[in-house]
C-alpha cells in the first residue's frame, strides 16, 4: 500500500491554508462582505479573466480529474470529442442567455421565471436547482476522499471534514469574491498537478514516442465514431450534440454560472468571460485525457484493476500517481492538492450559489429584513449547506457506474429539465405558467424514469450456473441473466439511451409538454409577456439572413424582396445542379 511522506501532508495542508487565507482576506477587506450585493455578486466588479477561470473550475471537480482519465484508459479517446460541444455550448449562452439575464438586472436566475411566468414557477425552478446541486456536491466531496482512502489509507472522514470545513468557512466568510479568487488559485494547482503527473508518466513509459506507439497499438486512439445509434454510450453525436444541451444547462441557466456573469462589471465583460472559458475547458479536457493515455502507456491492458490492487476503476488515477510518483517526494502531495483543489473549487461555488438562491428566491420575497441581517443569514445558509454537503457525502455511495457518468447523469436528469423550462420561457412567447409547471414536472418524470430505468437495467443480475460437463464443481461461471428479453423493444431502447442524451431528451420533453398544456389552457398573448424576457427568434433570423445574403440596395419594397428572393432561390437550384453534374462526371471518371 503506497503511503504519504510528511512533505505530502505539508503540501496538502498548504493548499487548505492558502484557500483559507484568500477567504479571510476578502472577509476583512473591501466592504468586508457587509452587504448581500458584495457577498453574492462581488459588488458587480469582477473582470473577465478571473471569472473565466472560476467558470471553468466550478464544473471541473475531482470527478473530471479522476473519472475522465479512467474513462480514456478503459475506452480510448472517444470522450475527447466532448470538446466539440463547447463551441455551441458557450456561443449560445454568450449571445442569448447572458445578454438577456444581464439586461434584466436579475438577483438570481430564477427571478427570470417569475418575470416571465409567475412566483410558483420560480419556486419550482429554485427547488429543482437546490436538489441538483446538493446531490452533485455529495458526489463532488466524496469522490476524492473515497479514492484517496482506498489507495493511500488517507483518513477518509478526516479528508471530507477538512475540505468541507475549510471550504464552508472561506465561502461563508469571503462571499463570491473569495470563491472566485480561490477558484483561480485552485485552477493553477489543478493544472500543475496534472501536468506534473503526465510528464513523469511519459518519462516512465519510455518517452513520448514509446508512449504514443503503446497507446496507438493498444487501440486507445479512437477515430471519430459517427454511429447514429443513440444507445451507444459515446459517439460523436452523443458527445458533440448531446453535450451541447449538457453545456447549455450548466453554462447557460445554472445559477452558479449565471451569478458569475451577473457579477461582471459590464455585459461585455460577462460575454468575454464566457468566450474565455472555451480555451480553459479545452486545456482541462486535454490534461484529463492525456492522463488516461499516459496511464495506458504505463500499464497497458494489465491494469491494477485486473491485478486486484484496486476495486473500482475510479481509484485507478490515484493508484497510478502513487505508483509513479513514489520516488518523487512532494509530487503525490501536489496531486492530492490538485484533486482537492478541483473538489473545493466546485463545492465552494455550489455553496455560494445555493445560499444565494435560498436567500433571494425563497426567503427574501417572503420576509423583509435589514441588509445586515440578510447578509448574516446568507452566511448562516452557506454554513448549513456545508453541513448538508458533508452529510450528503455520507449518503452518496458511488454507483458502480463511473463517477463521471454519475455526475453527468445528475446534470442530465435535473439540469436538463431546468434548461427546458428556461427555453420554454425564452423562445416560446405563447407558453404560460401552467404549461411551464406541467412541462417541468413532465421533464423530471421522464428524467427519473429513463435515468433510474437505465441504471437498473444495466445491473447484471448474474446467476451461478455449473458447467454441465465439467467434473470439478469448483469452477462455476456466472452469466448475466438475460433479463431484458421480455421487455418491449421501444422501452428497452429508451432505457439503454446513452446518458449523454439525457439533457436533450429531458429539455425537449419540458418544451413539448409545456407547449401542449399552454395551448390547452389558453396560450399567452404576445404583448402580455414581460418585455425583455423573450428572445426574438424570427426577427434575429431575418436580420441574420439579410446580413448573409447582402441584398442589393434595390430590395427596399416588398415586391423587390419577393423578386430578389425568387432569383436567389433559382441561383441556388442552378448551383446545386452544376454541383451534381460535376459529381457525376467525377464519379464515372473515377469508376
Ligand X SMILES: O=C(O)CCCC[C@@H]1SC[C@@H]2NC(=O)N[C@@H]21
Residues within the interface to ligand X (CB under 6 A): 59-61, 63-64, 82, 246-247, 250, 281, 284, 346, 404, 407-408
Show the 3-state SS of 123-177.
HHHHHHHHHHHHHHHHHHHHHHHHHHHHHHCCCHHHHHHHHHHHHHHHHHHHHHH
Residue position matching grid coordinates 439525457 = 502
- Work out whether 54 is an interface residue with Na ion (CB under 5 A): no
Alpha carbon 543 to chain centroid, angstroms: 33
Gyration radius of the chain's alpha carbons: 26
| 345 interacts with, out of ligand X, Na ion, none, CB within 5 to 8 A per kind | Na ion
Interacting partner of 324 out of ligand X, Na ion, none (Cβ under 5 to 8 A depending on kind): none
- Residues 6 or more apart whose CB falls under 8 angstroms from that of 170 comprise 19, 20, 22, 23, 24, 27, 178, 179, 182, 348
Going by C-alpha positions, the residue among 128, 134, 136 that lies closest to residue 422 is 128
The listed partner (ligand X, Na ion, none) that binds 172, CB under 5 to 8 Å by sort, is none
Query: Please, which residue, 442 or 504, has the CB nearer to ligand X?
Result: 504
Tell me how far apart the alpha carbons of residues 203 and 194 are, in angstroms, rounded to a whole number: 14
Phi and psi for 462 in degrees, rounded to 5?
A: -85, 145
3-state SS class at 335: helix
Minimum Å distance from CB 337 to ligand X? 17
- For ligand X, give the closer residue by CB, 20 or 141: 141
Residue number with CB closer to Na ion (54 or 149): 54
Q: Which is nearer to ligand X, 55 or 109 (CB)?
A: 55
d(CA 355, CA 41): 12
Judged by beta carbon distances under 5 to 8 A according to partner kind, the member of ligand X, Na ion, none in contact with residue 281 is: ligand X
342, 423, 447, 505: residue in contact with Na ion (rule CB under 5 A):
342
The site partner of 128 among ligand X, Na ion, none (C-beta below 5 to 8 Å per kind) is none
Helix%, strand%, coil% for the chain, nearest 5: 75, 0, 25
Nearer to ligand X, 63 or 109 (CB): 63
**Site residues (CB under 5 A) for Na ion, limited to 58-77:** 60-61
The answer to whether 313 and 186 have CB atoms below 8 angstroms apart is no
Q: Which of 273, 346, 378, 498 binds Na ion (CB under 5 A)?
A: 346
180 binds Na ion (CB under 5 A): no
Choose the contact partner of 377 out of ligand X, Na ion, none; CB within 5 to 8 A by kind: none
Instruction: Name the residue nearer to Na ion (CB basis): 57 or 172.
Output: 57
The answer to the question of residue 353 lying near Na ion (CB under 5 A) is no
Residue 243 CB, nearest approach to ligand X (Å): 6
By a kind-dependent CB cut-off of 5 to 8 A, residue 407 interacts, out of ligand X, Na ion, none, with: ligand X
C-alpha to C-alpha distance for 516 and 430, rounded to whole angstroms:
10
Q: Of the ranges 50-58, 79-87, 215-223, 235-243, which one interacts with Na ion (CB under 5 A)? A: 50-58
Piece of the chain touching Na ion by CB under 5 A; list 34-42, 70-78, 323-331, 344-352: 344-352
Please tell me the count of residues contacting Na ion according to CB under 5 A.
6
**Closer residue to ligand X, CB minimum distance, 159 or 424:** 159
Specify which residues 35 forms β-bridges with: none
Least distance to Na ion, CB of residue 19, Å: 12
Closest separation between CB of residue 411 and ligand X, Å?
Answer: 7
Nearest to 99 by CA among 402, 369, 391, 426: 426
Q: At what angle do helices 433-457 and 119-152 cross, to 10 degrees?
A: 20
Interface contacts to Na ion, rule CB under 5 A: 57, 60-61, 342, 345-346
Amino acid at each position: 500500500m503506497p503511503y504519504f511522506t510528511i512533505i505530502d501532508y505539508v503540501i496538502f495542508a498548504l493548499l487548505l491554508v492558502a484557500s483559507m487565507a484568500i477567504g479571510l482576506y476578502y472577509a476583512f477587506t473591501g466592504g468586508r462582505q457587509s452587504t448581500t450585493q458584495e457577498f453574492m455578486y462581488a459588488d458587480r466588479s469582477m473582470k473577465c479573466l478571473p471569472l473565466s477561470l472560476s467558470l471553468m473550475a466550478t464544473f471541473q471537480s475531482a470527478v473530471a480529474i479522476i473519472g475522465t482519465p479512467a474513462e480514456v484508459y478503459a475506452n480510448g479517446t472517444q470522450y475527447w470529442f466532448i470538446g466539440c460541444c463547447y463551441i455551441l455550448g458557450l456561443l449560445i449562452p454568450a449571445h442569448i442567455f447572458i445578454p438577456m439575464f444581464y439586461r434584466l438586472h436579475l438577483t438570481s436566475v430564477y427571478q427570470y421565471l417569475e418575470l416571465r411566468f409567475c412566483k410558483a414557477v420560480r419556486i419550482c425552478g429554485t427547488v429543482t436547482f437546490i436538489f441538483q446541486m446538493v446531490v452533485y456536491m455529495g458526489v463532488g466531496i466524496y469522490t476524492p476522499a473515497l479514492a484517496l482512502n482506498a489507495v493511500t489509507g488517507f483518513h477518509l472522514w478526516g479528508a471530507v471534514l477538512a475540505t468541507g470545513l475549510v471550504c464552508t468557512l472561506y465561502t461563508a466568510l469571503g462571499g463570491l469574491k473569495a470563491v472566485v479568487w480561490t477558484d483561480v488559485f485552485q485552477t493553477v494547482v489543478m493544472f500543475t498537478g496534472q501536468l506534473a503527473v503526465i510528464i513523469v508518466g511519459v518519462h516512465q513509459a519510455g518517452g513520448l514516442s514509446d508512449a504514443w506507439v503503446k497507446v496507438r497499438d493498444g487501440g486507445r486512439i479512437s477515430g471519430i465514431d459517427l454511429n447514429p445509434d443513440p444507445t451507444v454510450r459515446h459517439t460523436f453525436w452523443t458527445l458533440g450534440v448531446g453535450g451541447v444541451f449538457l453545456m447549455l444547462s450548466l453554462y447557460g441557466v445554472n445559477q452558479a454560472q449565471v451569478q458569475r456573469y451577473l457579477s461582471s462589471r459590464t455585459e461585455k465583460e460577462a460575454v468575454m468571460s464566457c468566450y474565455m472559458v472555451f480555451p480553459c475547458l479545452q486545456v482541462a479536457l486535454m490534461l484529463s485525457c492525456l492522463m488516461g493515455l499516459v496511464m495506458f502507456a504505463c500499464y497497458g491492458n494489465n491494469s491494477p484493476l485486473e491485478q486486484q490492487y484496486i476495486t473500482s476503476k475510479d481509484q485507478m488515477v490515484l493508484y497510478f500517481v502513487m505508483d509513479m510518483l513514489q520516488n518523487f517526494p512532494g509530487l503525490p502531495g501536489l496531486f492530492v492538492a490538485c484533486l482537492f483543489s478541483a473538489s473545493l473549487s466546485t463545492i465552494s461555488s455550489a455553496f455560494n450559489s445555493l445560499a444565494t438562491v435560498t436567500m433571494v428566491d425563497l426567503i427574501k420575497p417572503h420576509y423583509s429584513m435589514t441588509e445586515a441581517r440578510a447578509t448574516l443569514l446568507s452566511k448562516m445558509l452557506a454554513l448549513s449547506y456545508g453541513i448538508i454537503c458533508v452529510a450528503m457525502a455520507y449518503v452518496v455511495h458511488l454507483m458502480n457506474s463511473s463517477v463521471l457518468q454519475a455526475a453527468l447523469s445528475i446534470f442530465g436528469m435535473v439540469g436538463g429539465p431546468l434548461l427546458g423550462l428556461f427555453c420554454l420561457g425564452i423562445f416560446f412567447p405563447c407558453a404560460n405558467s401552467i404549461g411551464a409547471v406541467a412541462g417541468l414536472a413532465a421533464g423530471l418524470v421522464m428524467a427519473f424514469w429513463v435515468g433510474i430505468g437505465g441504471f437498473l437495467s444495466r445491473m447484471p443480475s448474474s446467476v451461478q450456473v455449473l458447467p454441465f460437463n465439467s467434473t470439478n464443481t469448483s469452477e462455476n461461471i456466472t452469466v448475466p441473466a438475460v433479463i431484458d428479453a421480455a421487455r418491449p423493444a421501444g422501452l428497452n431502447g429508451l432505457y439503454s439511451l446513452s446518458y449523454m442524451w439525457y439533457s436533450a431528451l429531458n429539455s425537449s420533453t419540458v418544451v413539448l409538454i409545456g407547449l401542449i398544456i399552454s395551448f390547452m389552457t389558453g396560450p399567452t398573448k404576445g404583448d402580455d409577456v414581460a418585455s425583455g424576457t423573450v428572445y426574438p427568434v424570427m426577427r434575429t433570423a431575418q436580420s441574420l439572413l439579410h446580413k448573409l445574403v447582402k441584398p442589393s440596395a434595390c430590395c427596399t419594397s416588398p415586391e423587390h424582396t419577393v423578386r430578389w428572393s425568387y432569383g436567389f432561390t433559382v441561383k441556388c437550384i442552378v448551383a446545386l445542379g452544376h454541383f451534381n453534374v460535376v459529381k457525376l462526371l467525377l464519379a464515372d471518371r473515377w469508376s
